[in-house]
Amino acid sequence: MRRLAPFLLWLALFYTAWLTLVVSGGLADEVAAHWPIAASMAAGSYFAGSTPMGGGTVGFPVLVLAFDAPAALGRNFALAVQSIGMVSASIYILASRKAVDWALLRWTLAGSLVATPLAAAFIAPVASDLFVKLLFAVVWCSFGVIHFLKLRAIVKPEGERIPEPALDRAIGLAIGLCGGVVAALTGVGIDMIVYAFLVLLYRSDIKVAIPTSVILMAATSLIGIGSNLALMGLDPSRYAIQPEVFYNWLAAAPVVALGAPLGALVVSRMPRAPTLLIVSGLCIAQYVWVLAEERVTGLPLAAALGGVLAMNALFLWLFRIGERREAKTHRPLAR
């Protein structure tokens, strides 16, 4: 219990600050009015801590698809709510001394620190709602497909890997730069990218890969929402953050502060495959939902289908490289 003192202190400080904000600001009615997003994030925050998915993976489609909000609102909400939920899970992970792949993580953080603010400033304002929705759908569907194809191999490895400084630096920076752009557009995604490289290329233990992805998403969320707030201060007309982001955040924050750490606890104690299968099924379902809801046809449909094929081709290529690397170390292969 002594190890968890920093986490418990964080919870005490957060809930005190949240309650003070609600009471002093007379915001109880707004919290009650936004209960649907809080209910949605109860499940979303659990998946955020127990899988390589940010809480925005639920928050974004709920707001953008179910509630017909603009993609910018879904993105900003995802970053804001993960700045509580994923940070809370990260503090729990660090306090409980869970294994984390710092060798790769430090370089992905460096890449994200550069790419996320730049993408928020120059790419996000000109990206169309449809493009952002399709990007989200393609990345998540690809995640679901590769898990159905290679779940046995993904969940089999155990233990920590030996760092490879030169490779970790090159791959980490690439993940951070590419993933930072995806996160700046959708509010999530960089966590799933680093997870994919860890489990497919490095053949890392999922109990190491998921905590690593959670910490990366927490840091990127802070970078992202901080960048968006700073940009709004510089040019409110171009980088406006809708008031609904704050109200939805206010309702969901107390839920995710506990839900995400609960997921992080569960992933270290229960079988991993069932949760991953459920999440993978949801990822594929939301892809179909986006295509149907947006009535995607023609070139956008071809791009959406091609995107899934291309990403899974990349994932399978990484898997084959990981397979060859594993063979060189004379470890048994999982197919």
Q: What residue ranges of the chain have pLDDT lower than 70? A: 1, 48-50, 54-57, 266-270, 330-335
Cβ neighbours around 65 below 10 Å, total: 19
Q: For the chain, what is the domain count?
A: 1
Distance CA 290, CA 65 (A): 7
Whether 4 is in a domain gets the answer no
Q: Which domain holds residue 129?
A: 21-328
Whether 191 is in a domain gets the answer yes
DSSP 8-state secondary structure symbol assigned to residue 126: G
pLDDT of 334 reads 47
Whether 2 is in a domain gets the answer no
pLDDT of 42 reads 80
Distance CA 91, CA 114 (A): 23
Phi, psi of 14 (to 5 degrees): -65, -50
Whether 29 is in a domain gets the answer yes
Whether 101 is in a domain gets the answer yes
pLDDT digits (tens, 9 = 90+) for 222-237: 999 999 999 999 999 9
Whether 58 is in a domain gets the answer yes
Q: Which 3-state string (H, E, C) describes 229-292? A: HHHHHHCCCCCCCCHHHHHHHHHHHHHHHHHHHHHHHHHCCCCCHHHHHHHHHHHHHHHHHHHH
> How far lies 66's CA from each of 56, 117, 238, in Å?
14, 28, 26
Cβ neighbours around 327 below 10 Å, total: 11
pLDDT digits (tens, 9 = 90+) for 27-47: 999 999 999 888 888 877 777
